[in-house]
Structure 1
Amino acid sequence: MSTSITPGRRESGRDYRQFLPLVQGATLIEWTGTGLFLAVSTIYFVKVAHLSTSSVGIGLTIGGATALFAALPIARLAERFGPKSVLIGVMLLRSLATIGYLWVDGWWSFLLVVSLVAVTEQSSPALVQAYVGARAPDSLRARVMAVQRTVVNLGISLGGLIAGVALGSGSHGAFRPLLIGGAVAYVIVAAVFATARDEGSAGSVGTTGVRQLLKDWRLLGFITYNALVSLWMPVLNVAFPLWLVTATEVPERYVGILYAVNTVLCIALQYPLNRCSNTTRRAWLSYATAAALLSCGALAFAAAPGFGTRGALLTMGGAVVLLTFAELLQVGASWTLSFDLAPEGARSAYLVLFNTSRTVANRVAGPVLMTGVVLALGKAGWIALACVLLAGAFVPLAALRGARRAGTALPAERADERKARTGR
């Protein structure tokens, strides 16, 4: 369904130029605050909060599951009050939850705080995307999101650098200013959005509600498929470093170097590669390509232990590059198609529900799949994952072919291509 802005609310050129720096500035502040604690969170949980690694893993998984259940009430709030108002509340709650880490003194308090953080972290990107959808012209939405994700990576990198410097002394007290800094950042983001012009209530147009969305097989199928192709997240964050350390002779320090390769490529290429998925057809093809690249990356990981140190490093590096391009294509395609499929009258609710696919991949099913199946089976696990992902690469092709046979794809594709060429 089309997601064009309601007549009478389309941004003028001047309004749009004012809106863009507001969103990107808020994004930089938000993710710099997130980066302050993201890279060192596990160290804090184990060495300062004195939790075991297994209890941390269980708590993070339960927190992710909590975020899934919280998606429905947040979607309803976003549908009723609009993305901006809910986003402000989410940021304030995220600030309180971040400060709450300072008082974690056991597993139950950790579970409470990490669940609140998971809920707010899941909700924030979807609400920002919905806000962009309400303010940006149709032809520029995916571009704005591409710039926004570049800023996200810059913010995480900046926050990580600050955290590295702050923790250089090895003092446990260095965590306190990092957590306070993150909490302050979220309050600032809430204040920035509070000063922005209201985009209107999401529930003020259209009649589609959350219950109708939950009965929409396209949404449910899209969530499932996006979760599959979003497995690059647990592969990169869980399976890759553990596989490098346990299955190859590559020194551990190369984990950070290969992560840096991923970050630099994301910053440099997210916006240029946006044109690969700026129409409906291109977005589906980007999904297919991303799944195929992930499959090749899994095979490269499987092959790496069979080489010497240098050969394994090069193979692992190649696998990380494949994962990075898959990440860039999948993320870009998800913006275009989620905007394209979202009903105008329930865009905010739709995007919040759709974003649960990333939570499933990154926080709930993904880590368990990586540690309990892929790494447990070794090479056979990587090969099995590659086969599943390769099969997933044919899903978008089948969808496009089915749409053509039904006679629904060609007009939409022509309109998409015309919009991409003219910018309107």
Structure 2
Amino acid sequence: MLLAQCVDRTGTGMWAAVSVLYFTFVSRLDARQLGLLLGVAAVAGIAGSPLAGRAAERLPVRGLLIGCHLLRLGMMGLLLVVNGFTSLLFVVALICLGERAAKTLEMLFATRVAGERRATYQALFRSVANAGYALGAGIAALGLAVGTISAYRALILANALSFALAAALVRRTREPAGHGLVVARGDTGAADQPPTAPSPWRDRGYLFFVLLDIPMNLDDSVLNVGLPLWLVHHTRAPHAVVPGFLVVNTVLVVILQLRVSAWAEGPRRAAGAVGWYGVTLLACCLILASATGGGVWSATFAMLAAAILVTFAELVRSVSSWELAVSLAPPRARASYLGVAGMSQSVQKSVGPLLLTGGVMTAGPAGWLALGTVVTGLSMVQRRASLVRLSNLAAAPAGPRQAVGTVGGQAGPS
């Protein structure tokens, strides 16, 4: 399964590096069309997670994951032949929907395979995924150096082939036990009449966790959007530093992910780690706010320090977010709950860049200070709410039609 994920991420890394340039120079989209295309695609991606989680309650995860890879394979192939904006909009939306659905299914697959050692599995996956992204970006750099339309299309074809190979590798992986409805330990029921699973959409406590998890994913936008734009427009650091952000991020994730995962392993440690996420992101924001007044060297060191801190925040979040998404969900309906939890990353990818460019950076250094303060405060709220919900779930396990909710620290059935 890890090999399949590595192959998938290699292709995705290629596509991420060339997609905007492809739509600009090959598809000839203007800035307005490109913005609309990416916005609609992001919205489609939001729907992918809950749809995948709901389907996984009834169908084998392996078959669904293969289907997602094949969907992306077909849509990538269509990119080579479609030209009109409307057709591109449809194709790219399905690509994003399939990508988010696939990530949710991979998360569920790994949860069932790894069991209580899911934090270690997540660490291994993160290391493998980053290696895949780096490899894909390197391959894309070779294609971009050529710069011809044929080179762009060759990269798209390579991405499509990565999905075919990933599907073949998943097919050779044994389906984990418990596909379809996941029954909690100790639950009983007739095989032909499974108990009714709780719905995450009626579980206010879990929805509160998912809502708070959106700002807990802002490190992604800070790294990929905030740092480069802030360096270019507000500091004297050379533009050549920008690629260094991804180098620092990739190297640190590969080296430290297993150690951070061991430190934050288990639901209560994961809840405690959420608070450290806020503190670390606040430190990153403080450095960014102070990077505007220095010279070339001081600005360069400040921006690289910010990249290190936001990477530490990412390391903590990647463990705590997944562990809590699993631990706070009733085992009976874990698939649909994880599908809803997966929306937080998709929503952040849609609104995070707009928040940074339209709000935080417009306000200057004060904007970064405000962002860091707010995220830190929300991280403490999520930490407290998660600990209360964990206690309630341990003390009073939910029945087949009831899930324990936590809103603002208060417990009650949803």
Q: Name the CA distance, whole Å, in 2 between partners of 1:76 and 1:351.
A: 9
Q: Name the CA distance, whole Å, in 2 between partners of 1:378 and 1:293.
A: 20
Q: Name the CA distance, whole Å, in 2 between partners of 1:74 and 1:195.
A: 21
CA contact (8 A) 1:80 1:201 kept: no
* CA shift digits 1:267-298 (9 cap, x unpaired): 11111210121011210111110111111211
The alignment-based identity, stated in percent, is 33
Q: Name the CA distance, whole Å, in 2 between partners of 1:126 and 1:188.
A: 19
Change in 2 beyond 3 A, CA 1:331/1:407: closer
Instruction: Indicate the residue corresponding to 1:55 in structure 2.
Output: 33
Shift of 1:201: 5.5
Instruction: Indicate the residue corresponding to 2:8 in structure 1.
Output: 30
Instruction: Indicate the residue corresponding to 1:176 in structure 2.
Output: 153
Change in 2 beyond 3 A, CA 1:288/1:323: same
Shift of 1:209: 6.4
Where does 1:16-415 land on structure 2 (aligned, <5 Å)? 23-136=1-114, 138-200=115-177, 202-206=179-183, 212-362=199-349, 364-399=350-385, 402=388
Q: Name the CA distance, whole Å, in 2 between partners of 1:274 and 1:76.
A: 28
Shift of 1:313: 1.0
Bigger drift between 384-393 and 326-335 goes to 384-393
How many residues align structurally?
Answer: 386
Letter in 1 for 2:164: V
Change in 2 beyond 3 A, CA 1:249/1:55: farther
* CA shift digits 1:319-354 (9 cap, x unpaired): 111100000000011122122123323222222221
CA contact (8 A) 1:36 1:182 kept: yes
Q: Look up the SS of the partner of 1:39 in the other structure.
A: helix
Bigger drift between 378-387 and 52-61 goes to 52-61
Letter in 2 for 1:168: A
Shift of 1:157: 0.4
Shift of 1:114: 1.8
RMSD: 2.2
Letter in 2 for 1:121: E
- Residue ranges of structure 2 left out of the alignment (5+ in a row): 184-193, 396-414
Structure whose residues are more often helix by fraction: 1
CA contact (8 A) 2:46 2:343 kept: yes
Change in 2 beyond 3 A, CA 1:216/1:383: same
Q: Name the CA distance, whole Å, in 2 between partners of 1:109 and 1:357.
A: 28
Q: Name the CA distance, whole Å, in 1 between partners of 2:57 and 2:220.
A: 29
Change in 2 beyond 3 A, CA 1:405/1:148: closer
Q: Name the CA distance, whole Å, in 2 between partners of 1:402 and 1:197.
A: 36
Change in 2 beyond 3 A, CA 1:163/1:402: closer
TM-score by length of 1: 0.85
Instruction: Indicate the residue corresponding to 1:19 in structure 2.
Output: none
Q: Name the CA distance, whole Å, in 2 between partners of 1:34 and 1:404.
A: 36
* CA shift digits 1:147-183 (9 cap, x unpaired): 0111000001011111112222222210111111111
Instruction: Indicate the residue corresponding to 2:404 in structure 1.
Output: none
CA contact (8 A) 1:76 1:210 kept: no
Q: Name the CA distance, whole Å, in 2 between partners of 1:262 and 1:53.
A: 29
Shift of 1:185: 1.0
Q: Look up the SS of the partner of 1:376 in the other structure.
A: coil
Q: Name the CA distance, whole Å, in 1 between partners of 2:261 and 2:83.
A: 45
Instruction: Indicate the residue corresponding to 2:406 in structure 1.
Output: none
CA contact (8 A) 2:328 2:389 kept: no
CA contact (8 A) 1:81 1:203 kept: yes
CA contact (8 A) 2:286 2:369 kept: yes
Q: Name the CA distance, whole Å, in 1 between partners of 2:151 and 2:196.
A: 46
* CA shift digits 1:177-214 (9 cap, x unpaired): 11111111111111222222233563344367687111
TM-score by length of 2: 0.87
